[in-house]
Amino acid sequence: MRKDAVTLRALLPDDMAFIERLYAATRAEEMSHSGWPAEQIATFLRQQFNAQHAYYQAHYDGAEFLVIEQAGLPIGRLYRNWGPTTVNFIDIALESHFQGRGIGSALIEEMLQRADAEGLLIELFVETYNPAQRLYSRLGFTIIDESGVYLRMRRQPRAAARKAS
């Protein structure tokens, strides 16, 4: 096993503080422009995190809510839902000092390979201003809808990778 290898495991109740901090970190740049005091930002982000978490739990029944670990320590989260025809790629986030190392790309590519093997579409939502949409485009995702600040993107399964019936 490579020293920088990551593992995935199911999200546990004890992980909630970590994923809430991770969520807040992903919004830090945005919140720095709010002009709000730190306490107000913390309250707002806690409410937003709780709303997002409740939404994901309610709308993605049977989804995999995973913690990304390296050397046994949590470094991120990956949420996805495998359906009969479509994989919903719900969310991926890594702590800032683990970004840019290819970890997220490798996890996404692994998911794409499995979806291709099973002949499944993959869909995701990404903010219009999120630079990750460039990665998604390179990986074969195309924009199929726009709603507010979100783009809905889809990737067709690669025919050559499908299992023979």
At residue 164, does pLDDT exceed 50? no
Higher per-residue pLDDT: 141 or 159? 141
In angstroms, the CA 158 to CA 113 distance is 9
Q: What's the domain count of the chain?
A: 1
In angstroms, the CA 44 to CA 30 distance is 12
At residue 30, does pLDDT exceed 60? yes
* pTM of this structure: 0.88
Its domain, for residue 78, covers 6-161
In angstroms, the CA 96 to CA 118 distance is 32
Does residue 66 form part of some domain?
A: yes
End-to-end CA gap in the chain: 34
Does residue 107 form part of some domain?
A: yes
Does residue 117 form part of some domain?
A: yes
Q: How far is CA 32 from the centre of its chain?
A: 22
Does residue 1 form part of some domain?
A: no
Mean pLDDT score across all residues of the chain: 91
Whichever domain contains 76, its CATH number is 3.40.630.30
> Where does the pLDDT of residue 161 fall: very low under 50, low under 70, confident under 90, or very high at 90 and above?
very low
Does residue 78 form part of some domain?
A: yes
* Average pLDDT estimate for 133-146: 94
Contact 115, 93 (CB under 8 A): no
* Average pLDDT estimate for 120-148: 93
Contact 23, 45 (CB under 8 A): yes
Does residue 10 form part of some domain?
A: yes
In angstroms, the CA 67 to CA 79 distance is 9
